[in-house]
Amino acid sequence: MMNSLKDLRLKILKFNEAYEKGSPIVDDFVYDFYKKKLEILEQNEKIKISENVGSKALEPSSHLFPILSLNHDFGKNSIDGFIKKIEKQIDPFPMVAELKIDGVSVIATYENQKIICLKTRGNGFLGENISHLIPFLNIPNKIYLTEHLEIRFEAYFNKKEFENPRNAAAGILMKKNPDSKLALLNFAPHNLYSNSLIWNSYIQLREIFYKMHLNCIEPYKVCYNIQDCYQYFEEINLLKNNLSHEIDGVVFKVDSKEKQNVLGSTAKAPKFAFAIKFSNSFNISEITQIDFQVGRLGKITPVATLTPTFINNRSISKATLNNLNDLMKKNFAIGDIVKIEMAGEVIPKITEIIEKSNNLTQIPVLCPSCNTKLIEDFCPNSWNCFQQKLNRLIYFANKNGLNIKNLGEAQIQFFVKENILNYPFDFFMLKQNIYNISYTPNWLAEKSFAKIIESVEKSKYCTLEQFIVSIGLPNIAKTKAKEINLKFKSLENFLNANIKSLKFLGEKNAQSVFEYKEKEKFWINKTFEFLKTDKKYEKVSLFNFE
């Protein structure tokens, strides 16, 4: 554990130092992942390294007050958790919400109305002195306040100036020799530090900034309840791509200075403010486990269990690794740090290894369900493989198939284990075979089973199209099933069809459908004998089991 903490600390220090020198070596989302991992690893440690992680300023200059970072999370739903923490001590409202500009923090020191120093944030206590750049920057040299104070600015370029505005801003501020593009930097003020009581609320502070002719962050919103917070976040999420500058979220701050003082700060972040970042269509996670699942047609699919992460406001903890060949080719393993993206905005997919572990993944040669030797990445054991059988029966009964209600996956699995469900036609003999079970679980009371039987009886009155979907033909869903129904008119005609007459499905599909129906004719025919596709459903008695 200690080695992990030490390695992680050194890694983050390396990231910080590169960033402060103007040459970031990782993206924000990669940095956020490692920082969060460090915090989790040291939860039980007395000395929390993450609270002091920061780069060392090359030419140190101390700040008047610690320049803290903000605690943050992703997505609108995270707002609630932060608000509840604050509510344990005070009523947080009103709060001020404003854009989280994706720039670089710089701190300007003023005394007797004049700027006397400009520093980077550094490690929050010491920053690097970059005062030599002041003449080349559009930062106020004089203000109307006479107190000794510091103003924290976010320095940023507009999107049109650079492909990566934030990295460009960090890089140009670290150059020893002034660059002509320094004049293009914008400076947005978002805090003022002083031993004098200059402001009583954040709204008042913004008015002070306006009076100094500083470009405050716009638009902002005063939130009087959590619904106001949600609304502003959603509005900005829609607006963000139309802004001239990069933002990566929204900052929420308790307005009252008195309440801020009551809440105080931790060693690394204020308790009265937090940032909610926008969920990306990708994120970074770590593979913690790799399992091998058996599909209903026998395909072996490796599935990665991940450290939970959010993508598009969804919690993601699993991702398929496609197939065994892809797994071997890309060499995924437990401990890999990976990039997760959403394929078609629906399915989590690992697209890149950010950092490779030293672990190896053992590729199975036997089916993980029935121990049959695999043929490439398929189990050939069909209905004798428990997992294949279970998945086929679940598919047959689900809403896209015969839609047998009141019969979920857990119930189907019980009946399979009790050996009274082996093929789809066994659904229609549950009423007779129920007496063969070895024990009666709590959910299998008389009334519950009666509802199952009613659903089974009702499912008999289906269309041929529904039945064609339910039998699980490869790559045949509703649209293709409708085409099969229109072409062949009856199940008998379809089961007797040759490859040539199936060509309308596409050459590859025709071959796989033909092979499947030939192999599965026995149970398909027997199941169809129970159906009443040409009759109207008549309600059965719920309790007539004799």
The string of DSSP codes covering 141-162 is SB-S--S-EEEEEEEE-BTTT-
Higher pLDDT, 482 or 6: 482
Residue 249, Cβ density class (10 Å: 0-12 exposed, 13-18 middle, ≥19 buried)? buried
pLDDT at 55 over 50: no
Q: What's the confidence (pLDDT) of residue 542?
A: 35
Average pLDDT estimate for 514-536 = 84
Q: What's the confidence (pLDDT) of residue 448?
A: 87
The Cα 386–Cα 23 span in angstroms is: 55
Count other Cβ atoms within 10 Å, centred on residue 295. Answer: 15
Q: What's the confidence (pLDDT) of residue 235?
A: 92
Average pLDDT estimate for 389-417 = 92
Cis before 424? omega within 30: no
Q: What's the confidence (pLDDT) of residue 1?
A: 43
The Cα 170–Cα 31 span in angstroms is: 16
The Cα 226–Cα 80 span in angstroms is: 7
The Cα 149–Cα 144 span in angstroms is: 12
Residue 212, Cβ density class (10 Å: 0-12 exposed, 13-18 middle, ≥19 buried)? middle
Tens digits of residue pLDDT in 414-455: 999 999 999 999 999 998 998 888 888 888 888 888 899 999
Residue owning tokens 């005070």: 90
Average pLDDT estimate for 191-204 = 91
Q: Tokens in use for 2?
A: 């200690």
The Cα 430–Cα 414 span in angstroms is: 12
Tens digits of residue pLDDT in 451-497: 999 999 999 988 888 888 999 998 888 888 889 988 888 888 888 98
DSSP 361: -
pLDDT confidence tier of residue 20, bands split at 50, 70 and 90: low
Q: What's the confidence (pLDDT) of residue 94?
A: 95
Q: Tokens in use for 512?
A: 């796989």
The Cα 502–Cα 540 span in angstroms is: 39
Torsions phi, psi for 21 (to 5 deg): -85, 0
Contacts of 61 (CB under 8 A, 6+ apart): 117, 119, 126, 127, 128, 129
Q: Tokens in use for 381?
A: 């054991």
Count other Cβ atoms within 10 Å, centred on residue 379. Answer: 26
Question: pTM for the full model?
Answer: 0.58
Torsions phi, psi for 488 (to 5 deg): -100, -15
State which H helix or E strand residue 168 sits in. helix 165-173
Range of lowest pLDDT (164-168, 185-189, 395-399, 446-450): 164-168
Q: Which of 12, 86, 82 is nearest to 49 (CA)?
A: 12
DSSP 56: P
Torsions phi, psi for 177 (to 5 deg): -100, 125
Q: What is the CA radius of gyration of the chain?
A: 32
Q: What's the confidence (pLDDT) of residue 292?
A: 95
Looking at this protein, which amino acid is placed at residue 441?
P
Mark residue 223 as left, alpha or beta (left: phi above 0; alpha: psi -120 to 50; beta: remaining): beta
Selecting among 100, 268, 389, 517, the annotated active-site residue is: 100
Q: What percentage of the chain carries pLDDT values higher than 90?
A: 39
Q: What's the confidence (pLDDT) of residue 222?
A: 95
**SS3 labels along 241-256:** HHCCECEEEEEEEECE
The Cα 532–Cα 528 span in angstroms is: 9
**CB-CB contact of 252 with 276 (8 Å):** yes
Q: What's the confidence (pLDDT) of residue 166?
A: 82
Residue owning tokens 């399979």: 416
Instruction: List 276's β-bridge partners, or say none.
Output: 73, 250
The Cα 343–Cα 390 span in angstroms is: 27
Higher pLDDT, 164 or 82: 82
Torsions phi, psi for 135 (to 5 deg): -60, -20
Residue 414, Cβ density class (10 Å: 0-12 exposed, 13-18 middle, ≥19 buried)? middle
pLDDT at 29 over 70: no
pLDDT at 373 over 90: yes
Average pLDDT estimate for 16-27 = 64
User: Any idea what the Cα angle at residue 350 is, between residues 349 and 356, rounded to 5°?
Assistant: 170
Tens digits of residue pLDDT in 495-516: 898 999 999 988 888 999 999 9
Average pLDDT estimate for 248-257 = 93
pLDDT confidence tier of residue 32, bands split at 50, 70 and 90: confident
Question: 35 catalytic, yes or no?
Answer: no
Tens digits of residue pLDDT in 293-352: 999 999 999 999 998 887 766 778 998 888 888 888 888 999 999 988 876 556 788 888
The Cα 380–Cα 253 span in angstroms is: 61
The Cα 268–Cα 266 span in angstroms is: 5
pLDDT confidence tier of residue 544, bands split at 50, 70 and 90: very low
Question: How high does pLDDT run on average in the chain?
Answer: 85
Helices and strands, number each (H, E), in the chain = 17, 16
End-to-end CA distance of the chain: 64
Q: Tokens in use for 383?
A: 């209905």
Q: Tokens in use for 226?
A: 């959590």
Looking at this protein, which amino acid is placed at residue 53?
V
pLDDT at 61 over 60: yes
Q: Which of 175, 193, 161, 194 is nearest to 67 (CA)?
A: 193
